[in-house]
């Protein structure tokens, strides 16, 4: 299959119906508490790291002051363990009064004042996964209204302590209830992850009309094995998952764990590159207050972010899985451009991989190539010219490629801020 034919196939597959709330036309970006901070509620002995309004304000300050917001990282998302163990006298959810003394509405205002958005967590069951009050079917409308009144901008609805019948009813009902509030609230569903993530249990055409993004698979852990497990599942099932994604409806392989304890620098680049190829939401779950310079450089790489945020919103695919342990991934982008990732599963030493663009289904012609991590540029690479990339163990080489005759392509210019601004600026309007 030629790259142009493959591109047409992917475009056609990305035109199925999506949730009509106008939100998340590109993969959402931000920060999410769970993987790094879990359900730490011991504010007496661990005040800096416990799930409290202070933690979320700290992360909001970092996003707004350290250059993250301008790159598109605009969501600050609360996960489990934020609420009181009881609903209030009117049956509404309420924040833990000791850890969130100002309440969620004031926390949302804190985010909005800084040009950020607030996400919150709920669970379609009797209890959340952490044992806090859940959103049973009879509470869906009440909780949707409560979130809207608080000024929440995104809801992740988990599925612990619910069954398949309740999920089949509840996830669409919450979508309707959120839209009925009149407030734009992005909607993340965990429905597929609880039903195996694949047809016939999951109808992705229907799901795309209900949710803006969805968790297909299990939770990520702070380890390279966990990242590989997720990548393997997504690529094994790419023929089903790839067509489901598109503007306003995204497969979510879970959080970025870059900057924590389980990944090397090369492995961190690999996660960032592969998540960009998959058009995945980019939710960091790390301590932004103590982030290393290496992790920051990866997470703030403007070229990788631009690829992730490409307006076409077409999820990429794995093209090749070589016996040598090298895998090649491809994603079509705006203006006839594309991204390639050469990924090594080897553990011994850097591997020199030789191929041609023609071998990777590129059409005849010459191309401009930008290496997004090294910054190196090749201006006239023919489709038939052999090239060699050296890939570190568990590492990647990631290329942005555009036809040489594409004079309108601004991506290869030295400053990616213009490209990012044109893509992201419509989404930086201060929410109210």
What lies within 8 Å, CB to CB, of 363 at 6+ separation is 2, 3, 4, 383
158 catalytic per annotation: yes
Angle at 288 between CA 284 and CA 290, to 5 degrees: 135
Find out whether 191 and 207 touch, Cβ atoms under 8 Å. Answer: yes
Report in angstroms the alpha-carbon separations of 42 from 38, 39, 83, 105, 146: 11, 9, 14, 23, 27
Omega within 30 of 0 (cis) for the link into 254: no
Q: Tell me the residue length of the chain.
A: 432
**SS3 helix, strand, coil % of the chain, rounded to 5?**
35, 20, 45
Catalytic entry in 79, 158, 252, 310: 158
Phi-psi sector, 244: left (phi>0), alpha (psi -120 to 50), beta:
alpha
Residue indicated by tokens 């850890």: 99
Whole-angstrom distance, CA of residue 271 vs CA of residue 394: 10
Catalytic entry in 219, 222, 371, 383: 219
Angle at 46 between CA 44 and CA 50, to 5 degrees: 95
For 286-308, the DSSP string reads S-TTS--HHHHHHHT-HHHHHHH
For 358-389, the DSSP string reads GGGTPPSSEEEEEETTT--EEEEEETTS-EEE
In degrees and rounded to multiples of 5, residue 42 shows phi and psi of: -85, 75
Q: Which token pair is 291? A: 């982030």
20 catalytic per annotation: no
**Which amino acids are annotated catalytic?**
158, 219
């Amino acid at each position: 299959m030629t790259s142009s034919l493959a591109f047409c196939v992917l475009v056609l597959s990305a035109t199925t119906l999506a949730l009509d709330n106008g939100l998340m036309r590109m993969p959402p970006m931000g920060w999410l508490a769970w993987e790094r901070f879990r359900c730490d509620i011991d504010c007496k002995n661990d005040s800096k790291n416990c799930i409290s309004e202070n933690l979320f304000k700290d992360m909001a300050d970092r996003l707004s002051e350290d250059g993250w917001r301008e790159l598109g990282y605009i969501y600050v998302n609360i996960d489990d363990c934020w609420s009181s163990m009881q609903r209030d006298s009117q049956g509404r959810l309420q924040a833990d009064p000791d850890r969130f003394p100002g309440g969620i509405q004031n926390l949302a205002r804190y985010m909005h004042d800084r040009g950020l958005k607030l996400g919150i967590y709920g669970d379609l069951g009797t209890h959340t996964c952490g044992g806090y009050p859940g959103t049973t079917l009879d509470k869906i409308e009440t909780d949707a209204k409560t979130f809207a009144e608080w000024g929440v901008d995104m809801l992740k609805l988990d599925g612990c302590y619910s069954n398949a019948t309740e999920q089949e009813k509840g996830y669409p009902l919450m979508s309707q209830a959120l839209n009925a509030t009149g407030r734009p609230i992005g909607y993340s569903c965990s429905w597929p992850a609880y039903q195996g993530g694949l047809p016939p249990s999951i109808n992705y055409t229907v799901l795309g009309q209900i949710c803006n993004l969805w968790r297909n698979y299990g939770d990520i852990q702070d380890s390279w094995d966990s990242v590989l497990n997720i990548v393997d599942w997504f690529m094994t099932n790419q023929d089903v998952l790839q067509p489901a994604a598109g503007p306003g409806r995204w497969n979510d392989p879970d959080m970025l764990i870059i900057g924590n304890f389980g990944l090397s620098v090369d492995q961190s680049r690999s996660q960032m590159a592969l998540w960009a190829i998959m058009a995945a939401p980019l939710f960091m779950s790390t301590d932004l207050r103590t982030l290393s310079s290496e992790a920051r450089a990866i997470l703030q790489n403007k070229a990788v972010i631009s690829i992730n945020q490409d307006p076409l919103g077409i999820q990429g695919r794995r093209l090749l899985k070589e016996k040598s342990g090298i895998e090649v991934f491809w994603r079509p982008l705006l203006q006839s451009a594309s991204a390639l990732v050469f990924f090594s599963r080897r553990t011994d030493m850097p591997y020199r991989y030789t191929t041609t663009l023609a071998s990777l289904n590129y059409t005849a012609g010459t191309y401009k190539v930008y290496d997004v991590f090294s910054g190196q540029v090749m201006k006239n690479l023919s489709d038939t010219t052999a090239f060699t990339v050296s890939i570190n163990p568990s590492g990647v080489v990631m290329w942005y490629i555009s036809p040489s005759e594409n004079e309108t392509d601004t991506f290869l210019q030295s400053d990616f801020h213009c490209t990012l601004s044109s893509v992201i600026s419509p989404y930086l309007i201060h929410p109210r």
